[in-house]
Amino acid sequence: MAIVLELTTLATMERLLTLFFYISVFFLPFPDAYAQSNQNMSLGTTLLSSSPNNSYWASPSGHFAFGFYPIGSGQFLVGIWFNKIPEKTLVWSANRDQPVKNGSTILLTIDGWVGFTDSQGQQNWIYNGSDRVNSGSMLDTGNLVLVSSNTSVIWQSFEYPSDTLLPGQNLAQEITLYSNHMDGDYRTGRFTLVLQSDSNLVLYPTNRRFIFPNGAYYWTGTDGTKSPVYLVFNQTGAIYLLSSTNHIISIISSHLVNTTEDYYQRVTLDSDGFFRQYSRQKSPDSSLSWTVVSTTPSNKSACGIPGVCGYNGYCVLDQDQKAKCLCPDKFSYLDPSYPFSGCKKDFITGCEGYTPSNYSMVELQDVDWPNGDYEMLTTDKESCKDACMKDCNCDLAVYRVSFCYKKRLPWLDGRQDRTIGLRALIKVANGNEQLKIAKQQQRSLIMVSEFLIGFSAIIFLLSLVVIACILKKRAGYPRVPSSVEPIEINPISNLIPFKYKHLFDATNGFKDILGRGSFGTVYKGVLDLGHQFEIAVKQLNKVVEKGEKVFRTELSVIGQTHHKNLVQLLGFCDESDHRLLVYEFMHNGTLADFLFSSIRPSWGERVELALGIARGITYLHEECRAPIIHCDIKPQNVLLDKFNIPKIADFGLAKLLQHDQTRTDTDIRGTRGYVAPEWFRNVSITAKVDVYSFGIMLLEIICCRKRMDLGQDDERQVILSDWVYDRFCEGKVHMLIEGEDEALGDLEQVVRMVKVGLWCIQDDPSMRPSMKIVILMLEGIIEVDQPPSSYVSAR
Ligand SMILES: *[C@@H]1O[C@H](CO)[C@@H](O)[C@H](O)[C@H]1NC(C)=O
Ligand SMILES: *[C@@H]1O[C@H](CO)[C@@H](O)[C@H](O)[C@H]1NC(C)=O
Ligand SMILES: *[C@@H]1O[C@H](CO)[C@@H](O)[C@H](O)[C@H]1NC(C)=O
């Protein structure tokens, strides 16, 4: 008998374990027909891949099953799946990277362990801890639980997710989801979701943990929250981060789905890197399918994940909004069976013997490779083509609204991008000659491509590294983003060009006025996009002289900003003399109304507001393609969304960025009281003017008081900054927040914020910190020195 033979060769402890395994199988009675049974799995239970009646264990209602999941070519995964629908969607697997062949067995041993043997008899444990399992059950929630003899749960599949969470399955800190390799290929893929021990929920490429920079493409920025925190996926489909005191600290998705009685739900880290929430009617009707309820990152625009397509390829979203990779004409996939691997060109380029007439420029509408330009020209499209053609270094030019960006191979982060008039102009070899030369070079090409395939992960990640540089994280800090907040990096602008009539209807004929500014009036509107979507439409006053150019440049610059703390521009209208900008609607009004109303926002909320705004400005100053100076930071220009997340608004028309960051005209921009003193002097204007305005606003946030309050009896109290400065010098900062217990209990933070505010409103711009430093100081990561006494009244 096989076991006896085996015995003679047993030597190590490991093999002894195998023996136990066999003994358990062979010497206990085989229960039969488990597939249909609702009883719990008891000791000695086995499931056999070869037995159709006994290859899985169904939950009492039959919705879920645990057992052998066939993945084709005679292979199986040990997993859990939706068993009543024809898709049999897999939600968990114990061996995604090592499928077993037919002839394998799952067993619950008499020793209280659970595992499976493959067809060779090699065993793999699912659970072999010191507490003995007494029975197991496949629950109707999709959770496989193993219980001890005193009925306590000692192991459950919900705690070891693969790529999917089910309703009720909460993710604890340091538990990781890994995407699949490709749809239908369940091997560990390229993306990871983890709720870090610092309470930040982060999406980034696999194996990049603790590597700086790690190329994260989404994070909640909730680090620093008092641990522990859970990611909750509740029964009605809301996904959020919950603190130990049951406070929701960040909402990932609030799209509630239909009743759980009729609908299945799941949320899966898909192989294209998106964290998608799905629902499906429970009916086994095969014409039904899973529909997407929410997507994270929630870029409304195309492929928000940088580098998803490797080198030279570009990403488009297919009709299911999944990322798909394409190669330009005369390029082909590095690995034809894996389109995410990137593309190689099928011809040669380069400066050696370069003859422009051997090449031509091919246009690709709405495709962008946004990074890695080595030269930018301001020109029209034809001259852009010519410029690239004449330059042997130029392999690609991206043309967008009178800007021509020249790039060399390899190209990174390609994707479809339906912004106004964007075109990729690609240089390709004309005829066979170049291809023939390419043939001769094929050997080296093959070698290169093998290298590339072998290191495809590294290459992919390198491309992310480039992007990650924009994040400018704290040097030497190896954790995933902490000082910066969730930017959906790679701002893809996807502005919608609206018809005037459309906006006229959406705003009900421009009736509902939300506010008036110096450059136009803002109206509320509702778009019907299948569901009602609220918008704010800004109608610009008669556009001034340079209007046309300003409007376009603004659109291309601002359309590209994408940050949690900036109001998102959705689209525009540019029709005869109508100039309108369409923004997302902000439910909770302006920061001014929030701060200066009769009910003070809590101290904690104010600290968060200050940080959020600082992050938004930092992004404008340092993280955009071209730095943007807002020039009009004030509480009236900060809007709050449903969750009171501050969003900077009105970084619009008149406050145009300057590429050289110096002043080109003499108009003072901004609002009295928030305007930096250098506006009144004949000196250059830099981003420090925003720092000044932020400083004034920070003091307002700390004190919940307007910068000027004529109702004060004491003259020194009329100007807020004077009053704060005096109290600070007297060491009586607590007087600023009188009667606020929460703030008084956090006096250290109050003092820190006051000091930051006073630094920001220094008269001399060079004394003011950059916004990035402001964030680090507000977060308490770097010490704040005593502000100098060179304070000049901000009157
Ligand atoms: C099966 O196990 C579940 C969970 O441990 C338990 O609630 C249930 O009572 C058990 N059923 C039987 C029939 O033992
Ligand atoms: C799920 O969370 C949402 C948002 O907090 C809440 O409205 C809903 O009632 C919750 N559902 C359940 C079943 O707890
Ligand atoms: C919810 O149910 C309604 C009607 O029963 C249906 O039209 C809608 O598509 C469902 N929503 C989801 C997210 O499944």
pLDDT of residue 754: 96
pLDDT of residue 693: 94
Q: Which ligand is nearest to the CA of 248?
A: 2
pLDDT of residue 715: 66
pLDDT of residue 764: 86
Q: Shortest CA distance to 628 belongs to which of 546, 667, 686?
A: 686
pTM of the model: 0.54
pLDDT of residue 278: 93
SS (H, E, C) 275-307: EEEEEEECCCCCCCCCEEEEEECCCCCCCCCCC
Q: Which tokens sit at 666? A: 């003499």
Distance 169 CA to ligand 2 centre (A): 14
pLDDT of residue 442: 45
Cα–chain center distance at 153: 35
Q: Among 13-27, 67-81, 292-306, 645-659, whose mean pLDDT is lowest? A: 13-27
Q: Is the CB of 36 under 6 A from ligand 2?
A: no
Ramachandran sector of residue 106 (left: φ over 0; alpha: ψ -120 to 50; beta: rest)? beta
* Residue, of 614 and 260, whose pLDDT is higher: 614
Q: Is the CB of 238 under 6 A from ligand 2?
A: yes
* Residue, of 30 and 37, whose pLDDT is higher: 37
pLDDT of residue 413: 78
For residue 392, pLDDT over 80 is answered with yes
Q: Among 40-54, 422-436, 439-453, 614-628, whose mean pLDDT is lowest? A: 439-453
Length in residues, the chain? 795
Ligand 1 closest atom vs CA 39: 13
Catalytic residue list: 632
Tell me what the mean pLDDT of segment 146-169 comes to. 93
For residue 360, pLDDT over 50 is answered with yes
* Residue, of 420 and 73, whose pLDDT is higher: 73
For residue 28, pLDDT over 70 is answered with no
Q: Among 253-262, 312-321, 325-334, whose mean pLDDT is lowest? A: 253-262
Q: Is the CB of 234 under 6 A from ligand 2?
A: yes
Tracing tokens 């522990």 back to the chain, one arrives at 228
pLDDT of residue 445: 39
Q: Which tokens sit at 123? A: 């065993």
Work out the burial of residue 120: count CB atoms within 10 Å of its CB; fewer than 13 is exposed, 13-18 middle, 19 or more buried.
exposed
Distance 37 CA to ligand 1 centre (A): 13
Which protein residue's CA is at the shortest distance from atom 1 of ligand 1? 40
pLDDT of residue 168: 93
Q: Among 122-131, 296-305, 356-365, 764-773, whose mean pLDDT is lowest? A: 296-305
pLDDT tens digits along 552-597: 656 666 666 778 898 888 888 888 778 888 888 998 989 999 999 8
Q: Among 24-33, 96-105, 596-605, 625-634, whose mean pLDDT is lowest? A: 24-33
* Residue, of 408 and 645, whose pLDDT is higher: 645
Distance 229 CA to ligand 2 centre (A): 17
Tell me what the mean pLDDT of segment 355-372 comes to. 87
Q: How confident is the model at residue 484 (pLDDT cuts 50, 70, 90)?
A: very low
Mutating to test ligand 1, I would choose from 39, 57, 137 the residue with most ligand atoms within 8 A of its C-beta, which is 137
Which protein residue's CA is at the shortest distance from atom 14 of ligand 1? 40
- Please, what is the average pLDDT of the chain? 78
Most confident of 13-17, 21-25, 42-46, 777-781: 777-781
Q: Which ligand is nearest to the CA of 280?
A: 3
The DSSP H or E segment spanning 506 is helix 500-506
Beta-carbon contacts of 113 under 8 Å, excluding residues fewer than 6 positions away, are 125, 127, 128, 132, 133
Give the end-to-end CA distance of the chain in Å, rounded to a whole number. 97
Cis peptide bond upstream of 213, omega within 30: yes
Q: How confident is the model at residue 352 (pLDDT cuts 50, 70, 90)?
A: confident
Which protein residue's CA is at the shortest distance from atom 10 of ligand 1? 40
Ligand 2 closest atom vs CA 254: 4
Ligand 1 binding pocket (C-beta < 6 A) is: 39-40, 137, 145, 147
Give the phi and the psi of residue 427 in degrees, each rounded to 5.
-90, 120
Q: Is the CB of 293 under 6 A from ligand 3?
A: yes
Q: CB of 217 within 8 A of CB of 211?
A: no
Coil/strand/helix, residue 622: helix
Tell me what the mean pLDDT of segment 137-142 comes to. 93
Q: Which tokens sit at 258? A: 């239909």
Which protein residue's CA is at the shortest distance from atom 10 of ligand 3? 258
Ligand 3 closest atom vs CA 263: 14
Radius of gyration (Cα) for the chain, nearest Å?
31
pLDDT of residue 190: 86
pLDDT of residue 655: 46
pLDDT tens digits along 712-760: 766 667 788 888 988 888 889 999 998 898 899 999 999 999 999 999 9
Mutating to test ligand 1, I would choose from 135, 148, 151 the residue with most ligand atoms within 8 A of its C-beta, which is 135
For residue 4, pLDDT over 60 is answered with no
pLDDT of residue 571: 82
Which protein residue's CA is at the shortest distance from atom 9 of ligand 3? 258
- Using CA atoms, how far apart are residues 582 and 505, in angstroms rounded to an integer? 13
Beta strand 105-108 pairing with 46-48: antiparallel
Cis peptide bond upstream of 297, omega within 30: yes
Ramachandran sector of residue 67 (left: φ over 0; alpha: ψ -120 to 50; beta: rest)? left
Beta strand 144-147 pairing with 46-48: unpaired
- Using CA atoms, how far apart are residues 772 and 769, in angstroms rounded to an integer? 8
Distance 243 CA to ligand 2 centre (A): 15
For residue 163, pLDDT over 90 is answered with yes
Distance 264 CA to ligand 3 centre (A): 12
Binding-site sequence positions for ATP: 538
Binding-site sequence positions: 538
Distance 104 CA to ligand 1 centre (A): 27
DSSP labels for 181-222? Answer: EETTEEEEEEEEEEE-TTS-EEEEETT-TT-SS----EE---
pLDDT tens digits along 194-225: 998 888 899 887 755 554 445 678 888 887 77
Beta strand 314-317 pairing with 414-416: parallel
For residue 3, pLDDT over 70 is answered with no
Q: How confident is the model at residue 668 (pLDDT cuts 50, 70, 90)?
A: low
For residue 477, pLDDT over 50 is answered with no
Tell me what the mean pLDDT of segment 297-315 comes to. 74
Output helix, strand, coil percentages for the chain, rounded to the nearest 5. Answer: 25, 25, 45
For residue 444, pLDDT over 60 is answered with no
pLDDT of residue 629: 83
Which protein residue's CA is at the shortest distance from atom 4 of ligand 2? 238
Domains and CATH numbers, the chain: 4-28+168-300 (2.90.10.10), 40-159 (2.90.10.10), 314-431 (no CATH), 448-584 (3.30.200.20), 591-778 (1.10.510.10)
Tell me what the mean pLDDT of segment 536-545 comes to. 72
Helix axes 442-454, 432-440, angle to 10 degrees: 70
